[in-house]
Chains A and B, each alone.
Chain A
Amino acid sequence: MGDNISGGIPLKQRSRLSDTVWTAFTETIRFIIVPLVLVDLVLSNYPQLTTPFTPNITTLIVFFGVLIVSASTLEVANKAGSYKRMLFGLSALAFVCFWTFVLFGGGIAEFEYGPYAVSFDMTKILYIIIIGLSLKGLLVVSTFTTSRGSFQEQERQRRDQESRARAAEKKTRTAARSYSIPSLSVMSKVAFEVTGDDDVGYSKGPVPDKTTPPPSVNIKTCPVCGAHANPKDYTCKACGAWFYDDLLKGVRRDSGIE
Chain B
Amino acid sequence: MAARNRVLQFGIAVVNIAIVVLAFTSIWPFPSGDFKIDLPSANDVTWSYANGIVHVAAPFSVDNGGWYDVSELRISYEVRNFSLDILTSDELEIGTLPAGQVTYGWLNVTFDLARFYSSGETWMVFHDDQLYFDVHVSCFYTMKLIKFDASYSATVLWTALVQDWGVDAPTVAGPNSLSVGFWLVTSNLLEGFPPAQVTLQLWGNGRMISEASTGVSLGGNHTGIATFTGVPASYLTDPSYSPHFVRLRFVVAGFTSPPPPSQWETISLEGFL
Contacts and interface: CB of A to CB of B under 8 A. Distances in A.
A116 B150 contact: yes
8 contacts: A7-B2, A118-B150, A119-B148, A124-B146, A125-B26, A125-B27, A132-B15, A138-B12
A6 B8 CA distance: 11
Given A7-B9, A128-B19, 8 more contacts: A121-B147, A121-B148, A125-B27, A132-B12, A132-B16, A138-B12, A139-B5, A139-B12
A133 B15 CA distance: 9
A96 to B, nearest CB: 12
B154 interface: yes
A115 B156 CA distance: 13
A8 interface: yes
Contacts of A20: none
Given A7-B6, A142-B4, A129 B150 contact: no
Interface of B: 1-2, 4-6, 8-9, 12, 15-16, 19-20, 22-23, 26-27, 30, 142, 144-154
A46 to B, nearest CB: 10
Nearest to B144: A124
Contact of A128 (B2, B4, B145): B145
Contact of B12 (A115, A125, A135): A135
A172 to B, nearest CB: 41
A125 B169 CA distance: 75
A9 B5 contact: yes
Contacts of B30: 120
A122 B2 contact: no
Nearest to B12: A135
A143 interface: yes
A51 interface: no
A131 B19 CA distance: 9
Contacts, number: 84
A117 interface: yes
Contacts of B148: 118-121
Q: Binding site of B, secondary structure by majority: helix, strand, loop or mixed?
A: helix
Contacts of A116: 150-152
Contacts of A146: 1-2, 4-5
B34 to A, nearest CB: 15
A125 B146 contact: yes
Given A122-B27, A125-B146, A129-B19, A142 B151 contact: no
B19 A8 contact: no
B23 A115 contact: no
Nearest to A143: B5
Nearest to A108: B147
A118 B16 contact: no
B8 A138 contact: yes
Contact of B16 (A120, A133, A143): A133
Interface string A131-171: 11101101100110010000000000000000000000000
Contact of B8 (A10, A120, A131, A139): A139
A120 B4 contact: no
Contacts of A122: 23, 26-27, 145-146
B153 A115 contact: yes
B44 to A, nearest CB: 14
A184 B155 CA distance: 117
Contact of B1 (A8, A128, A138): A8
A108 to B, nearest CB: 9
A135 B16 contact: yes
A76 B16 CA distance: 23
Contacts of B152: 115-117
Closest 4 pairs between A and B when the two form their complex, measured CB to CB: A121-B147, A146-B1, A132-B19, A119-B149
A136 B26 CA distance: 23
Nearest to B155: A115
A138 B146 CA distance: 28
A18 B198 CA distance: 99
Contacts of A143: 5
Contacts of B26: 122, 125
B9 A125 contact: no
B22 A125 contact: yes
